[in-house]
Amino acid sequence: MQGKIALEEHVAIDATLADSKVFGAHVWDTLGPRLVDVQDMRLREMDKHGIEMMILSLNAPAVQAIHDVKTAIAVSKEANDALAGEVRKRPDRFAAFAALPMQDPQVAAEELTRCVKDFGFVGALVNGFSNVGTPDNVTYYDLPQYRPFWKTVETLDVPFYLHPRNPMPGNPQLKDHNWLLGPNWAFSAETSVHALRLIGSGLFDECPNLKIVLGHLGEGIPVQLWRIDGRNGWMHAPHQYPAKHGVGHYFRKHFHLTTSGNFHTPSLVNATTEMGADRVMFSVDWPFEDVGEGCAWFDTAEISDTDRAKIGRENAIKLFKLKLK
């Protein structure tokens, strides 16, 4: 398929490049250059495999792992200035998500506003929870101090991409099982719980027009939706949380999914069955996944041509208000 739009595609700046080495130290000679390149190899891969546009975002965990608040703010602004510079070079091929210093919700709201209004960014991508003040202080965004931030996101009418990061070191479930870290399992486990916390907190009752994006075909949530809300239904024990409705109600109304790093047709079919084809979008997860592999899978996946056009291009144009010819 020609004209695809990919939207979980990462870039590193000098201050964040080393964060990604743990995810590919044995191929760093290839991975590192892929992360810092935008206008050369990346464009060639896009042209070769039918991708018209990439929405760029900072690598992980980057800003979210910087516990010193002033430094987190400075790095986020540096990254956003760099991303804006790359987009200006080729606005026909690139757009960008803002990196945000969620350690300070007010500054995060101000930085998102700057990026949207001054640079034309199409949303934000944040790498999970933030460390605030100290390396072991873990902060999630369902907490009350983030409500004004979420209202800003809603007012700006841009999506918020909740991207994974690993759980904090010392998790007893992962002790002596480092192979579970990263995309193998821990990314999805960590991110799915964060997303469910947002739902249960009542956030979407307060912000009824908020839009959230999850990668990797929903971080495992779609296949669990019935069980999350069913929970031994004969016991008649509904969820005890501030939200007014079931998880499925909010997930299908407020969340959009991408195929990033999950090139598996049965999982794609499950996601579109649960969410509808209008809420799923194509992505690769470059440079951690391969553009050629992701595109070859998607272009030949056993789905209808109508759904392929929606997922590959049309849904992203609508959600991010992209102005493409």
Q: E strands, the chain, where?
A: 4-11, 51-58, 94-96, 124-127, 130-131, 138-139, 160-163, 212-214, 255-258, 280-281
CB 283 within 8 A of CB 7: yes
Exposure string over 168-198, b if 16+ CB within 10 A, otherwise e: eeeeeebeeeeeebbbeebbbbbbbbbbbbb
Q: Which of 85, 207, 194, 197 is nearest to 158 (CA)?
A: 207
CB count in 10 Å sphere of residue 105? 21
In this structure, are strands 212-214 and 255-258 parallel, antiparallel, or unpaired? parallel
Q: Which of 19, 142, 285, 307 is catalytic?
A: 285
Q: Exposed (0-12), middle (13-18) or buried (19+): which is 304, by Cβ within 10 Å?
A: exposed
Answer yes or no: 285 catalytic: yes
Positive or negative, the CA dihedral 316, 321, 324, 325 is: positive
From the centroid of its chain, how far is CA 297? 21
Does residue 287 have a cis peptide bond before it, meaning omega lies within 30 degrees of 0? yes
> Alpha-carbon Rg of the chain, whole angstroms?
19
Q: Point out the residues that are catalytic.
A: 285
